[in-house]
Amino acid sequence: MKRDLITIADLTIDEIGLLVRVADRLKGAVARREEHRWLRGCTMAMIFEKPSLRTRVTFETGMNQLGGSAIYLGPADIMLGERESVPDIGKNLSQWVDVIMARTFSHQSVVDLANSAKVPVINGLSDLYHPCQVLADVFTLVELRGDLDKLKGLHVAFVGDGNNMVHSWMLAAARVGFDFTLVCPQGYEPDEGVVAHARSLGSSTITVTHDLTAGTKGVDVLYTDVWASMGQEDEAAERRTVFAPYQLNGDVLANAAKDAIVMHCLPAHRGEEISADVLDGPQSVVLRQAENRLHLQKALAAWLLGAREAQS
């Protein structure tokens, strides 16, 4: 049966471990300039309803490095669900390509693509989840802490909106076994169903609080993301006011563990959700996170497509 990556809950802890190990091997191969054409002749269709720098470039570069290719389908190209229904698009693409990556507004669109396509579908961000980013972030934390087991007992605090990133982080926390706290303004809590799902998956502590000091005290990882996600541009001005007390800045960093790691999925807005000194400071690993999107997603594509080298 074909596999998709729609949410992190689709993966077992062993599969997350496998993806991290394969990503690590692929990263080494790139550094040594070794050829690793595991997906020779394979094509990925990349559907984008929203803008992207990292997701587009890393998937396209990754497919090229693996000996395959990728086709960019922007909003004006296929008009997902307008010119043609999502299931019809999934069925048609399955006649020509080997894997589909989709960045959509409605999460249901990714689900409908996966249900209609004969080939694997990868969620490249929906309004509900961003699993590729969080898998790459888990890989980054493994690099920094040694191995996946060492992430157990870690405390990750996310300061900001209860958004798609937070939903994926909560599921990762449950699967991997670390504790997760979201510190958000009142009214910007994550989806209750996703919180309940994450809590039901594992024994990690998942906390939602409005108290910035209590929520970030002594934590090992501080994470933030834009205050207005793609599609929420109309709310950006109001959100700037509401979220102003929730900036990830030097005071918040000083309240975390001494060696706390600062993470951001990017794009970042210096002076809004994060201060420039913290984003560009010595504890920030944001460029390593961006780099690791490439390696983790190559591992993911190779694994989903059944490349022999990516199965163990």
Helix, strand, coil distribution of the chain in percent, nearest 5: 50, 15, 35
103 in active site: yes
Contact 130, 164 (CB under 8 A): yes
Taking residues 129 to 168 in sequence order and writing x for each that binds ligand NVA by CB under 6 A, - otherwise, the string is -x--------------------------------xxx---
Could you tell me which residues come within 8 angstroms of residue 31 by beta carbon, excluding any fewer than 6 positions away? none
- Name which of ligand CP, ligand NVA, none residue 260 binds, using a CB cut-off of 5 to 8 Å depending on partner kind: none
Instruction: Write down the catalytic residue from 65, 133, 247, 297.
Output: 133
3-state secondary structure of 301: helix
3-state secondary structure of 41: coil
Question: CB of residue 158 vs ligand NVA: minimum separation in angstroms?
Answer: 11
Question: CB of residue 229 vs ligand NVA: minimum separation in angstroms?
Answer: 3
Comparison of 58 and 181: residue with beta carbon closer to ligand CP: 58
- Output the six-digit token pair for 227: 């205050």
Under rule CB under 6 A, residue 179 binds ligand NVA: no
Other beta carbons within 10 angstroms of residue 17's beta carbon come to 17
Comparison of 179 and 272: residue with beta carbon closer to ligand CP: 272
Under rule CB under 6 A, residue 182 binds ligand NVA: no
Q: How far apart are CA 195 and CA 301, in angstroms?
A: 28
Beta strands in the chain (DSSP E): 43-48, 69-73, 99-103, 121-123, 155-159, 179-183, 206-209, 221-224, 261-264
Which residue among 226, 253, 274, 290 contacts ligand NVA (CB under 6 A)?
226
Q: Please give the residue ranges that form the binding site for ligand CP (CB under 6 A).
A: 52-55, 125, 133, 265-266
Instruction: Write down the catalytic residue from 54, 103, 107, 295.
Output: 103
- Name which of ligand CP, ligand NVA, none residue 53 binds, using a CB cut-off of 5 to 8 Å depending on partner kind: ligand CP
Instruction: Write down the catalytic residue from 98, 137, 161, 225.
Output: 225
Catalytic residues, which ones? 103, 130, 133, 225, 265, 293
